[in-house]
A and B are shown apart, each in its own frame.
Chain A
Amino acid sequence: MNSQPPAASTETSYGEAIRAGFVHLLSSHREVFAIGQGLWSPWYVGNSMTDLDKLFGKARVIDTPVSELACTGAAVGAALCGYRPIVIHPRMDFMVLAADQIINQAAKWHHMLGGQAIAPVTIRAIINRGGEQGAQHSQALHAWFAHIPGLRVVMPSSVADARDLLVASVLCDDPVLYIDDRWLYERKAVLPAVSERPLAAEGPRVVRSGTDITLVGAGYSSWLCEQAAEILAAEGLDAEVIDVRVLNPFDPAVILASVSRTGRLCVVDGGWRNAGWAGEVIASVAEALDPRQLKSSPRRITLPNAPAPTSRMLEADYYIDAGHVAAAARTMLAARETAS
């Protein structure tokens, strides 16, 4: 059906790419269905699922009562019985109500039942923040979920990954938490032809090579790293950018190889600092690398340890932008100048 790539050189947005992933999955895999709040609404999930109910029918694209726990559990149950459901949480904060089914159930059944049960469910959580939405409508809880063995966690940053990691998640036999970010929806790129790749083979990827410093991000923060690298390049500083893509299970090999060359690591995380994901990346590098390979202390840029405020003045202080990342990198590189 609609899974052909668009004509060469026309750009696709991240939001449209997610939709292209759904179109591919629903057209070529009968066992796929989508369930969640807002699926019959033209505006609930941005442009990422527009009219899928009209294309594929309301039996396979299911809008639901306000029942996150039951809908997620129902998706897990259908997955145990041969389907590959995608349950959509239009906002990650609301998914917290479904935590039992994700953490205690989906993530555990394969292991605790001796490998006999599989729950190939994809849980799509959308990070949606800013705009004075406040503490309960802003959270990026990827670190929380990446803590759970048995639950794969992916965060697409590029337009192609928005589609292809969704496809890989759904075709994977494990439960996967796929986290996209409304701040990425207008990111644009030329979308190559869709390919079905095993999720287990996916992991961190160098998206820009450089020699002076390694910038690491996931999802939106990876895009910030790419923007910061542009800013730094204009100043003659050469940053390497790694998009982590898969937070759990986490394979730090690509990051280790990069930092052993650049000697500098800065991790950018849209989540909180304490017990957060950036700390995990830095710890993985610190324990594997000879300290003499580090030219400066690793650094993390995270949200402050505070709930999201509403007032625009406080919001402006709260969120990270590419300028903050570039400034941190500059400081780390300035240490080089004084040292040499």
Chain B
Amino acid sequence: MSILGNRVLRREDPKFLTVGGTYVADLELPGSVHVTFVRSNMAHAKIVSVDSSRAKAMPGVIDVFSNDDLGLANFPTIMEMTNAAMTPPMLASGTVRFVGEPIVVIVAETREAAADAAELVVIDYEPLPVVIDPVEARKDEILLFPEAGTNVAFTLDFGGDDTLFDACEVVVELTLANQRVAPCPLEGRSAAAHMTADGRLEFSSATQAPHGVRDALVSFLGLEPEQVHVVTPDVGGGFGAKASVYQEDIVVGWCALRLGRPVRWTETRSESMVGLGHGRAQVQHARIGGTRDGIVQAYRLDVLQDSGAYPGFGAVLPFMTRTMTSGPYKIARAECASVSVVTNSTTTTAYRGAGRPEATAAIERMMDVFAREIEMDPAELRRRNLISKDEFPYTTPVETVYDVGDYHRALDLALEVADYEQLRTEQSRRRLSGDVRQLGIGLSCYVEITNGLPDGEFGAVEIRPDGKVIVRTGTSPHGQGHVTAWSMLVAEQLGIAIEDIEVIYGDTDVVPRGAGTMGSRSLQIGGAAVNQAALDVIEKAKDLAADLFEADRGDVVLDKASASFHVVGSPAVSHSWAELAAAALAKDGGPLFAEVDLASPGPTFPFGTHVSVVEVDTETGKVTVLRHIAVDDAGRIVNPLLAEGQVHGGIAQGVAQALLEEVVYDLDGNPLTSTLADYSFISAAELPSYETRFTETPTPVNALGAKGIGESGTIGSTPAVHNAVCDALAHLGVRHVDMPTTPMRVWSAIEEAAARTNAKGQG
């Protein structure tokens, strides 16, 4: 019987539930000193002078450095795609461009002394005009980098067809805000660095990509790869924002080299809210057209991406938005163009979904608006336009090739679980009775891309002489449960119990290569690499067994039930894994092992349908989510428990974007949401129990048949909830409410619609 597909409990959890995890801040580093960054409290200003003398003189302060002291190069552009005139220095020099930008680094004996000293650094600023709104930034009136002559950091433009909508009977358009949100991992950024006795830099990092951190330290600090050792202790979430390296990381490494003492840094929540990259931040203009009987024929999406102060990963994410322009629909003509601009705000980066939720949010909202325009049920409109299961592989108008799917099945199942007809009946009842609490039903059919970047992944399997297994992986789990899932994959192949399998990750000395964990890539590329290594080790074991049995290699079989090899037909005489490991040692003096660098077989396209049922208090504007139905298809599911965990967390973050979360700045660029009291991080109290289902349509792209599941929940849920809120208000004359649909925003939309109706009535 296969272990795959079973709800195997997480092997990671007993530790977390008993003694707890060990995070960077928990590491014991005798003699360590603490780093604190003095950050800009101006959104845009010239730095006239920095006086650190009083801070330096404080008891407990070891040293204070600014960018000139570091002598390090600026951060490079992202994949050499963004405007080369817009790279950030390690610490601000000359000009600050957002509140929270690090200017000075203080090293002190204690964290508290460093914080006290930070208050004594006197920075004299000459304020510059501030631009926060990307629409304003696009006008190039206030420039962040005058030498660049523009605020534009990156563009995607494949031209446009003026006749795109000519054949359409009905065309509707809308400007949509896909607001800036904060990823808010429970653990903020954290790093600790020290020089070992043999002169190497050992660097502990709360990261999603330890090898990326190593490579960055090597290149910025001018070290050889062998001189840097990066480890990740437990990491408390990342959501994409910890996939990239930050200036602070490099500065921590530099301080350790410079001072020869262990150095540590753990940001506070308030710092994290302005220093860790933000997500989303697009202003979208969408146009959709089709026939009166519900065939969508054309769609165009124009994206204005807010990159924040220095173009980072966020600036190029419209690339992913464009990839998923037309969603799960068969739209004959679709276009997407984007412009990314810099603004005086925190740099944007990847955040759970990274470019794809933005695409889904746009097309799904537009499907609803179009359905309303032609007075068709939004579920019916979707059904008529979904790509059919026999049309795969399917090439979209923007040249994305979807691997495989059964989109109609997911839609039908979601509607069935929701009891859609009954919900619509209840909605009509409330509308007719003029209930204060109106019901909204929202749908979102999504398809997304996982493992979308070209990196391959490393995996290795080693059989120890005691019969136990060491698995090494280049992925870098921080909550996903790779230890459990990779153990299951290896157990399935080798017949060895998962308790006897150890999974090692997050240590660049032990795992030579790795791209890390992001973009829902891990199972389909990292898991697949480990799976392949297990298969390879079986082949090596068969060679050894054939020698021992003096039999033909082709006659040797692995009996998974007993975890031993025998010659076909004579199971009485067998050799265990331990015996073969010993044989390997005897034969070539090395362990029985296999390692694999699996090249990426290409992306896969998970899909599904979410249905959200909300209640809107029309007097206060407050929205309550009553039900959330999620049907997700991530191909073959290795462990439903882990997959559900991903879906659950994803839905929470997705609902949060639809209803609550938004990073807000005032006009001077001061962040108004830099604590979790002001930033509406969602909690369980705001969420219903989810109704989740999986359909399984295995992908032919990889050996496991698996697609990514890490971001689907976020991608699918946001538009469903957003559509539900707008649906609840539709009969009141409200066409659209931007996210987050906070009480005041919903109430204002109702008021405005009522005013319009009244004006019409009188006119």
On whether the two chains bind one another, the answer is no
- Please report A residues at the B interface, Cβ cutoff 8 Å: none
